[in-house]
Amino acid sequence: MTRPTRILFVKPYAYAPNQAFDVPLGVLYLSGYLKKHLGNQVDIALIDLRILRNKHDALKQKLQAFKPDIVGISTLAFEHRFLADNTDVIRDHAPGALLVVGGPYATSNVTSVLLENSLDYAVLGEGELSFLNLVKTFASGGDLKSVRGLAFRNGDAVTVTEKEAFIEDLDTIPMPDYSLIDFNDYWGNRLQFNGILAEPKHASVVSSRACPYRCVYCHSMFGKKLRKRSPEHFVAEIRYLYQRFGVREFHIIDDVFNLDRPRMHRILKMIIDSGMTLRLAFPNGLRGDVLEEEDILLLKQAGAYMLTLAIETGSPRLQRVIRKNLDIGKVMRNIAFAGSLGLITRGFFMLGFPGETVEEMKQTIRTALDSKLSMASFFVVVPFENTELFTMAKQYLDVMDKDLLSSYQAATSFYEKATGYKVGRLQKIAYLRFYTPLRLARLFVRIPRKSYQITKWLSFAYDLLRL
């Protein structure tokens, strides 16, 4: 009997101040999809280096013990140095294994990723179909270069195969393969993306893919056509996590969960009618000017305690330039209404767009200060490669190193390089002015698990003062 193809997924670690992380859903989705279609023809393992202490040794030991045929590395932009530092290590300890990279960074920077690192293939965009076909072709001894949705090095150039179609019916994708992880590794005192926790046992879930809006700073890994799981399929996963692992808090991380209002209402009413007692948060940003008061009331009834709204800029001119085109007035009214119901509200803001004036940045800060928001996050703009924002940034700064393009924690921002203005100082001022004693006191009254939150705030304040 032919032994199964051994696949080791590697989730990299890269240091970042106050780094938040959750369960690596992308990898778990890939594993679930492979097992659905290949069953016992594959043997799959995961090493998440973020949760391990002796990361370098742990990686070597896992490679030697598991003896993978394929190593799949999922990367975000700020993790790019992991590839340069570790691909040779993987080669040494898993000789003969196929090295495959995927995720947002590989998709957006495929040429540099393959030319600068010892990798065999990159899986581009939505990975389930392409990676499944890569594994099947590898196992049968076929020509991997014929698989759609891949890229590979071809001498001093990179060849990209025909694009793979997006999966239209998301209900055909099984839920993430939670057998690869121990949830306890992601609970406890670890910082997670939502920033606040109502319940110790929490999980992130996704009900849709893609965003139809065309903001200049976003990638389009999942395309621009919104694809949705059925309410029944999505709520079944929530019920499974609730019953099987005791999860009591769910973070819905869709790009725009509230775009299809009837569907959102159906999901929320199913949760209400299910008898489950749970808490909901939306750390990835709801579209604030699509929300209605009826929606907010239903969200609260279903267990929501925190809403995050991506506002980005308070400048009407820049709202048009970045194609966010947000109705800021309506968002402010929704924030006030949600606050009147006792919900925690957080706003996302961006400082330092190409061509932005200092006065426009200050206008954004005033928008946050004048709002009824409970919390605000101010990000210094990063012009990620292969976005329209990157093209805009190139008009102001021709040469940008990887640090400018990979992390919100870069020592020097694009804006400072281009203009000399230290936008990082303005960012610090924004935080200090927003989090007044009165606002902190009002927030403290609302937050659950207060001792946990105090610890996280102190850590955040320490890193902020070091900026």
Residue 89 lies in a domain: yes
**Across 2-20, average pLDDT:** 87
Which residue, of 145, 160, 175, is where some domain finishes?
160
Structural domain for 211, as ranges = 192-465
Mean pLDDT over all residues of the chain? Answer: 92
Q: Are residues 413 and 297 in the same domain?
A: yes
Residue 182 lies in a domain: no
If one compares 457 and 309, the residue with the highest pLDDT of the two is 309
pLDDT tens track for 135-185 = 999 999 999 999 999 999 999 999 999 999 999 999 999 999 999 999 999
CB atoms within 10 A of CB 236: 15
Domain count, the chain: 2
Q: Looking at the predicted structure, is the pLDDT value of residue 467 above 60?
A: no
Q: Could you give the count of Cα atoms lying within 13 Å of 144 in the half-sphere of its Cβ?
A: 20
Nearest to 90 by CA among 113, 66, 112, 106: 66
pLDDT tens track for 82-115 = 999 999 999 999 999 999 999 988 998 899 999 9
Q: What is the pLDDT of residue 384?
A: 86
Q: What is the pLDDT of residue 219?
A: 81
Q: Looking at the predicted structure, is the pLDDT value of residue 241 above 60?
A: yes
If one compares 11 and 17, the residue with the highest pLDDT of the two is 11
pLDDT tens track for 353-373 = 999 999 999 999 999 999 999
Residue 168 lies in a domain: no
**Across 236-265, average pLDDT:** 97
Q: Looking at the predicted structure, is the pLDDT value of residue 411 above 90?
A: no
Q: Are residues 254 and 315 in the same domain?
A: yes
Q: Are residues 154 and 201 in the same domain?
A: no
Q: What is the pLDDT of residue 453?
A: 76
Nearest to 211 by CA among 202, 220, 203: 220
Nearest to 358 by CA among 430, 432, 435: 430
Q: What is the pLDDT of residue 402?
A: 64
Residue 177 lies in a domain: no
Strands 304-312 and 279-286, bridge-based pairing: parallel
Residue 173 lies in a domain: no
Q: Looking at the predicted structure, is the pLDDT value of residue 337 above 90?
A: yes
The percentage of the chain sitting over the pLDDT mark of 70, rounded to a whole number, equals 95
User: Is the distance from CB of 333 to CB of 355 less than 8 angstroms?
Assistant: no
Report the alpha-carbon distance of residue 127 to residue 209 in Å, rounded. Answer: 13
Q: What is the pLDDT of residue 431?
A: 96
**Across 218-235, average pLDDT:** 92
Which residue, of 114, 140, 160, is where some domain finishes?
160
Q: What is the pLDDT of residue 79?
A: 86
**Across 114-124, average pLDDT:** 95
Q: What is the pLDDT of residue 466?
A: 59
Residue 246 lies in a domain: yes
Residue 180 lies in a domain: no
Q: Are residues 276 and 359 in the same domain?
A: yes
User: pLDDT class for 262, splitting at 50, 70, 90?
Assistant: very high
CATH number at residue 232: 3.80.30.20
Q: What is the pLDDT of residue 189?
A: 74
Which residue, of 160, 176, 210, is where some domain finishes?
160
Q: Could you give the count of Cα atoms lying within 13 Å of 455 in the half-sphere of its Cβ?
A: 9
User: Is the distance from CB of 24 to CB of 185 less than 8 angstroms?
Assistant: no
Using a 10 angstrom Cβ sphere, with 0-12 exposed, 13-18 middle and 19 or more buried, the burial of residue 160 is: middle
